[in-house]
Amino acid sequence: MSASEPASPGVGAPAPDLVVSGLERRTRAPRVLAFLRDGLGGERPAELDAIRAELRGLGAELVVVSPAGAWRVRADDPPEPRASAGDALAAEVAAASAGYGVQAGDDAVFVIDGRGVVRFTHRIAPGGGAWTRLSNALAIAGRGVLARDAHDARQRVLFTRREWTVTCLVVGCATAFLASCKEQRPPDHRGGAEPPPPDVQVALRINGVPHRLTLDPRTSLLDALRERIGLTGTKKGCDMGQCGACTVLIGGKRIASCLVLAVMAQGKDITTIEGLADGGTLHPMQRAFIDHDGLQCGFCTPGQIMSAVGLIREGRAHGDDEVREQMSGNLCRCGAYPNIIAAIQAARRTLG
C-alpha cells in the first residue's frame, strides 16, 4: 500500500459511518456493504437468487453504493433503489469509499455485524458485469465468514499442553477422592427385577385412518409409528427430542413423537409425512422443498417439512429471522438451512 492510499478498516475494527443519501447512517442489523464503480441497473438477473441465498446464510442485508446510484437488497425483497446518480451522490460515495480505504474505480465488499464491527473484507477482481462481480464476491464473503467463525471457535476451545496436563491431574485427583468417599450401596434382596407392566389397548387415528394396537404402555408414539404401523417416513434421530427428525402433527401442532407415549395420543388426529400429500398431489411445502433444493441427504427432511407446516399454521412465519428462530428445533447436519428458509417462505406465500 502506498503512502497516499487510505487504510481500510481491518477485520475486528469498527466500521466507519456510511453517509450516503437515502441510506441510514447507523443500523444494528448485520449488513454487507458493497462499493461498485457501476450500478445495478437492468432487469432482474439470474445472479439475484444466488445473492439472496448468500444473504440468508449471513443473516444480513446488502447495501450497494456507487456513483450510479445506491440500492438496498434483502433476502426476500426486490432490489430497492435508495438514491439516484448525481454530483451530490458521487461526492458522498467518494467520501464513503475513502473512509473504507477503497480507491476510486475499485470494487470491494465488507461484511459488518450488528455491533458495527467488520467481520470480513474482500476486494472484487475486475471483469464481468456488476451483478456477476457482486454475486461472486458474496459467495467468497460467505465462505470467508464461515471459515473465520470456525477458526475462532477452534481457538476458543484449544488447550496448551501445560493446561491439558494440569486439567488431567486435577480431574484424576478429584475422581480418586470421590471414589474413596462413595458410599457402599446395600445389596438388593428383592429377589429379582420388577416384572414389566401389562400391555394395554391403544386406539390411534393416523392420517385419517384408525389403528388399534396392543402395546407396552411405555411405547413412544415414534416407535408405534415405525415398528408397529410401518410408517417409516417419520425418522428416529437422537430419540431425545433434540434433533426434530421425528416431528409429526398432533391436533395440528408440531410435536417430537419420540417424547410422546402412544397412549397419550389417543383420541387426537395425528398427521405424519405420509399423510401430507393429497393423493398424487404434493403438499405445497413438499413442492417448495423440491423447487428450492431444501435437502441433501434427506434424513431430516420429513421432520423439517412437518415442522414447517405447523409453523405456517401457527401464523408466526414472517421474516427470515423469525422463521430461523421458530425452526431452530429441527437440525440439518448437511447445513441446508438457507434453502430450507427459502422453501418455507415460498410455501408461506403459496398458502397465504
CATH number reported for the structural domain that contains residue 144 in this entry: 3.40.30
Q: Given this model, what pLDDT does residue 159 score?
A: 56
Q: Does residue 24 sit within a domain?
A: no
* C-alpha cell recorded at residue 188: 438388593
* C-alpha cell recorded at residue 336: 441446508
Q: Does residue 99 sit within a domain?
A: yes
Helices marked H in the chain: 47-58, 87-99, 130-157, 161-181, 221-223, 284-291, 301-314, 320-326, 337-351
Instruction: Indicate if 57 and 101 belong to the same structural domain.
Output: yes
CA 201 to chain CA mean position, Å: 41
235 contacts 299 by C-beta, under 8 angstroms: yes
Instruction: Indicate if 45 and 138 belong to the same structural domain.
Output: yes
Q: Does residue 250 sit within a domain?
A: yes
3-state secondary structure of 247: strand
Q: Does residue 144 sit within a domain?
A: yes
pLDDT above 70: residue 154: no
Of the candidates 338, 331, 347, 208, the residue with the CA atom closest to the CA atom of residue 288: 347
For residue range 307-327, list pLDDT tens digits in order.
999 999 998 778 899 999 999
Q: Given this model, what pLDDT does residue 78 score?
A: 82
Q: Given this model, what pLDDT does residue 2 score?
A: 47
Look at the chain and report how many structural domains it folds into: 3
Instruction: Indicate if 40 and 124 belong to the same structural domain.
Output: yes
Pairing of strands 61-66, 31-35: parallel
Position 97, amino acid: S
Distance CA 143, CA 170 (A): 40
For residue range 213-270, list pLDDT tens digits in order.
999 999 999 999 999 999 999 999 999 999 999 999 999 999 999 999 999 999 999 9
Q: Reduce the secondary structure of 34-48 to three states and give it as a string.
A: EECCCCCCCCCCCHH
Instruction: Indicate if 339 and 242 belong to the same structural domain.
Output: no
Q: Which residues have a Cβ under 8 Å from the Cβ of 68 and sit 6 or more positions away?
A: 36, 38, 39, 41, 85
3-state secondary structure of 203: strand
Instruction: Indicate if 133 and 238 belong to the same structural domain.
Output: no
Kindly tell me the sign of the dihedral angle through the C-alpha atoms of 157, 158, 163, 167: positive
> Length of the chain in residues, anyone?
352
306 contacts 248 by C-beta, under 8 angstroms: yes
CATH number of the domain residue 244 falls in: 3.10.20.30
Instruction: Indicate if 37 and 99 belong to the same structural domain.
Output: yes
- Choosing from 110, 126, 150, the residue where a domain stops is 150
Q: State the Cα torsion 38-43-44-45 to the nearest 10°.
A: -70
Instruction: Indicate if 289 and 270 belong to the same structural domain.
Output: no
Instruction: Indicate if 294 and 263 belong to the same structural domain.
Output: no
Strand partners, 58: none
Q: What is the extent of the structural domain holding 123? A: 31-150
Instruction: Indicate if 294 and 269 belong to the same structural domain.
Output: no
Q: Does residue 197 sit within a domain?
A: no
Tell me the range of 33-47, 147-161, 301-315 where mean pLDDT is highest: 301-315
Q: Does residue 25 sit within a domain?
A: no
3-state secondary structure of 295: coil
41 versus 256: which is more confidently predicted? 256
Q: Does residue 80 sit within a domain?
A: yes
Instruction: Indicate if 44 and 118 belong to the same structural domain.
Output: yes
Instruction: Indicate if 75 and 141 belong to the same structural domain.
Output: yes
For residue range 159-183, list pLDDT tens digits in order.
566 777 888 888 888 888 777 776 5
- Choosing from 275, 309, 327, the residue where a domain stops is 275
Instruction: Indicate if 133 and 211 belong to the same structural domain.
Output: no
Q: Does residue 192 sit within a domain?
A: no
Position 57, amino acid: G
62 versus 26: which is more confidently predicted? 62
Q: What is the DSSP letter of 275?
A: G
Q: Given this model, what pLDDT does residue 161 score?
A: 67
pLDDT above 90: residue 187: no
- Choosing from 108, 128, 150, the residue where a domain stops is 150
For residue range 273-309, list pLDDT tens digits in order.
999 999 889 999 999 999 999 999 999 999 999 999 9
Position 247, amino acid: T
Q: Given this model, what pLDDT does residue 7 score?
A: 67
pLDDT above 70 coverage of the chain, percent = 88
